[in-house]
């Protein structure tokens, strides 16, 4: 890589609580940043070219299915500058850091990470410092315009790169704005979301177990969302807010109780969320000073655990390994 290239990184994310409910406006979710990084290098060039280690060939701005997400992000960035993409000062953008292993994805938000990463790289290349909030809005605008059916909470977590409580906005309303008004007008509107950084005051281990069974989030959402009802929403919201308070005030019993509660609510929503491996991942915390659950859309990918002593953490990891679940990441909160 040429030394004069600007380098930026973005990480991934995993839901601790509130997934599925947060697809509904005004519902909240607690989402944890995962420092497994994608990296972008950007430098001046004679023409715009993009490369990703996902595909191992270069593309320009001509339509390309593999590079469409990056191309559309570039187009949104150009609109942000009041230009079209062809008028941008040309650059070479290289993205590396597959969030996968042996062709199996981790499920920690690669499309969201690519979108935020591309925007961060372009901002620095064009000499602009974007706030986490502007990054989030631009990335959300890009994905909503593409027809993404997610809550955009992943983008908030990746843009803020922290443990957050995200309260969802009405995506159909924002989509209608995007269809009718220019980018700057849409960005200046109050979308009606909230992003609050959570600072836990209780020492515990946060562990991520990877099932190595890829889940397609879009398909899972389409499968499950018809089962979402007012009772699920109200009970999940209450549990999420109690969990947030428990984390901030260091109440271990509350944290464990509310994570169990949101996990049970997911099971009641659809048995497809907890496939066999995720059932094993959760069951491994039984009898330990720990609590575990699925994360995100479920049906595979990762689950998370909070463990409150070293021995419990080690036992949990060993139990996961015995079931073919790999410890993908851990940190002390």
Q: What's the whole-model pTM score?
A: 0.95
Instruction: Quickly state the pLDDT bin for 1 (edges 50, 70, 90).
Output: very low
> Residue 192: which pLDDT band, with cuts at 50, 70 and 90?
very high
Task: Summarize the confidence of residues 53-69 as an average pLDDT.
Answer: 94
Q: How far apart are CA 39 and CA 113, in angstroms?
A: 10
What would the pLDDT profile of 71-104 be if each residue is shown by its tens digit? Answer: 999 999 999 999 999 999 999 999 999 888 888 8
Enumerate residues 6+ apart whose C-beta is below 8 A from 85. Answer: 48, 61, 71, 74, 75, 78
At 68, list the tokens. 């469409």
Q: Provide the residue ranges of all domains of the chain, joining segments of one domain with +.
A: 6-197, 205-332
Pairing of strands 164-167, 194-197: antiparallel
pLDDT tens digits along 258-316: 999 999 999 999 989 999 999 999 999 999 999 999 998 888 899 999 999 999 999 99
Give the CATH fold of the 6-197 domain.
Answer: Ribosomal Protein S5; domain 2 (3.30.230)
**What does the pLDDT look like over 106-146, one tens digit per residue?**
888 788 999 999 999 999 999 999 999 999 999 999 999 99
- Per-residue pLDDT band for 3 (boundaries 50, 70, 90) equals low
Q: Phi and psi of 105, rounded to 5°?
A: -75, 150
Q: Residue 311: CA atoms inside 13 Å, Cβ hemisphere, count? A: 3
Higher-pLDDT residue of 3 and 64 is 64
Is 70 exceeded by the pLDDT of residue 2? no
Give the residue among 266, 237, 246 at the shortest CA–CA distance from 204. 246
User: Are domains 6-197 and 205-332 of this chain identical in fold?
Assistant: no
Could you please state the CATH topology (level 3) that the domain comprising 205-332 is classified under.
Answer: Alpha-Beta Plaits (3.30.70)
């Amino acid at each position: 890589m040429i030394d004069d290239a600007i380098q930026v990184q973005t990480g991934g994310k995993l839901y601790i609580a509130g997934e599925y409910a947060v697809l509904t406006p005004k519902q909240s979710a607690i989402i944890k940043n995962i420092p497994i990084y994608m990296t972008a290098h950007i430098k001046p060039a004679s023409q715009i070219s993009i490369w990703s280690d996902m595909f191992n060939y270069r593309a320009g701005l001509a339509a390309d299915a593999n590079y469409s997400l990056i191309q559309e992000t570039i187009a949104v960035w150009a609109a942000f500058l009041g230009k079209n993409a062809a008028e941008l000062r040309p650059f070479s953008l290289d993205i590396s850091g597959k969030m996968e292993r042996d062709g199996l994805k981790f499920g920690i938000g690669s499309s969201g990470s690519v979108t935020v990463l591309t925007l961060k790289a372009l901002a620095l290349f064009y000499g602009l410092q974007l706030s986490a909030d502007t990054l989030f809005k631009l990335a959300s605008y890009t994905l909503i315009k593409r027809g993404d059916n997610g809550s955009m909470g992943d983008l908030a977590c990746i843009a803020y790169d922290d443990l957050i409580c995200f309260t969802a906005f009405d995506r159909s309303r924002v989509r209608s704005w995007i269809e009718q008004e220019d980018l700057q007008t849409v960005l200046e509107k109050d979308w009606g979301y909230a992003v609050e950084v959570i600072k836990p005051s209780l020492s515990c281990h946060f562990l991520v177990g990877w099932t190595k069974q890829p889940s397609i989030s879009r398909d899972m959402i389409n499968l499950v969302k018809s089962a979402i009802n007012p009772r699920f929403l109200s009970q999940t919201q209450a549990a999420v807010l109690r969990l947030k308070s428990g984390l901030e005030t260091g109440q271990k019993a509350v944290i464990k109780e509310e994570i169990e509660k949101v996990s049970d609510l997911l099971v009641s929503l659809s048995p497809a969320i907890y496939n066999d491996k995720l059932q094993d991942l959760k069951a491994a915390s039984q009898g330990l000073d720990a609590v575990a659950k699925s994360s995100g859309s479920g049906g595979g990918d990762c689950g998370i655990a909070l463990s409150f002593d070293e021995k419990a953490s080690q036992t949990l990891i060993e139990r996961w390994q015995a079931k073919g679940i790999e410890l993908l990441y851990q940190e002390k909160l």
